[in-house]
Amino acid sequence: MVKKINKAVFPVAGLGTRFLPATKAVPKEMLTIVDRPVVQLAVDEAREAGIEHFVFVTGRNKAVIEDHFDKQYELEETLRSRGKLEELRLLESDRPSAGQTSFTRQQEPLGLGHAVWCARELVGNEPFALMLPDVLIHASPGCLKQMMQTYDSHGGNVIAVEQVAPEEIHRYGVVGIGKPAGDAFEISGMVEKPSPEDAPSNKIITGRYILQPEIFDKIANQNPGSGGEIQITDAMIQLAEDQPFYGVEFEGTTYDCGNKIGFLSANVAYGLEREDIGPQFKQALKQIIAEAGGL
């Protein structure tokens, strides 16, 4: 029996410079896909996969994320007194229960690996999920739930991977492909942001991880890597000397909401599939595209 994954870590300390001026006062994770903040969608995915505790690694200017996952007592009372029960139910069902969230701050922007390390005390000595909220994965069941199947049968460490075009590879961590392991495969190597000739495959690390707690000691030993930052991939390379890593090619569509095209595409895709606004939105889009000279 593998140890159940109860906690997920959400690094949300990034500055969001690509979305200025929107992100001057609003954290990029609070930008919305239709009407749900990006970070809420990551929490939704975690809850679906059975996660019961949500650890956020935040930074200065991010306090509103904590407010978002709190009970907004006055708002809820107002909704109740006005009979807006549908909206009230939505707020209640989205909200983790009291005590299910923890927040800590990454005091300096030293990299993703360092952000994860900041969660070490809150995670403790148990395996955990790591979810990068910028990477929005539209999938049913969700990506983390798909990964849990591999974890339940193999244990160890599990990473979501997907294939990208050769010219995209240098922007990501890349895995080497080893032996098949059920629906997944053993990862034979990893490299962070390789040049095309150094990439072991065209399968990239997609922002969802299940990691064993020994990762924290490995992070603590890291020198700055790619981009002068403490990289989670470098710590995983070391951990892979002692423990297995599996790659899961999940079913689903990824939107990189850390850049404008990915963010706008996600809004279009999620808007179109909404029952309440989808058909009308499609008409509006058709008109906009026709007026812009067609496709």
Label the pairing between strands 32-33 and 36-37. Answer: antiparallel
Tell me whether residue 15 or residue 90 sits nearer to ligand G1P (CB atom): 15
**Residue among 58 and 206 whose Cβ is closer to ligand G1P:** 206
* Amino acid in the structure at residue 53: H
In whole angstroms, the minimum distance from the beta carbon of 115 to ligand G1P comes to 9
148-207 binders of ligand G1P (CB under 6 A): 172-173, 192, 204-207
Interface mask toward ligand G1P for 34-53; x: CB under 6 A: --------------------
Residue with the shortest CB distance to ligand G1P: 173
Q: Please state, in angstroms and as integers, the Cα–Cα distance from residue 72 to each residue in 31, 62, 83, 139, 223, following that order.
A: 19, 17, 17, 30, 42
Task: Count residues binding ligand G1P (CB under 6 A).
Answer: 13
Cβ nearer to ligand G1P, comparing 120 with 203: 203
Rounded least distance, CB 40 to ligand G1P, Å: 19
Which residue, 264 or 289, has its beta carbon nearer to ligand G1P? Answer: 264
Q: Which amino acid belongs to residue 88?
A: L
Please give the DSSP secondary-structure letter assigned to residue 239. H
Strand partners, 249: 161
- What is the Cα gyration radius of the chain? 20
* x-marked contacts with ligand G1P along 102-131 as a string, rule CB under 6 A: ----------x-------------------
CB 28 within 8 A of CB 20: no
How many Cβ atoms are within 10 Å of 102's Cβ, its own excluded?
17
Q: How far apart are the first and last CA of the chain?
A: 53
DSSP 70: S
Comparison of 165 and 292: residue with beta carbon closer to ligand G1P: 165
135 binds ligand G1P (CB under 6 A): yes
Binding stretches for ligand G1P (CB under 6 A): 112, 132, 135, 172-173, 192, 204-207, 231-233
